[in-house]
Amino acid sequence: MSQAAPPRPTEEIADFFARAPSVEEIAAFRLSDETITRVRALLDKNAAGTLSGEESEELDQLVLLDRIVMLIRSRLPHPAFSCCASTIPSA
């Protein structure tokens, strides 16, 4: 029996916001461990200069998604949540 592929980051984020999360849930949101692992691998390849064109595009999309979530967080009504934390934790 094969496992289902993890959702793509765009779907992961869309599914999260489609649930109408609370301000606290938005502030605490982070990407899945699988996505974070993929981002870190892409960042490592980027630093080494070995990203393919397709991987470069994927990394660009992930960075854009992260910026969108940070922008949403910056507009949350509660001042404690306006810190704009990234959805991608640092290594």
What are 26-69's pLDDT values in tens digits? 988 988 899 999 999 999 999 999 999 999 999 999 999 989 99
| Contact (CB, 8 A) for 54 and 38 | no
Half-sphere exposure of 77 (CA within 13 A, CB side): 2
pTM: 0.72
| pLDDT (0 to 100) of residue 51 | 95
- Which carries the bigger pLDDT value, residue 84 or residue 50? 50
Query: What's the per-residue H, E or C state across 29-80?
Result: CCCCHHHHHHHHHHHHHHHHCCCCHHHHHHHHHHHHHHHHHHHHHHCCCCHH
For the cut 80, the answer to whether the pLDDT of residue 79 exceeds it is: no
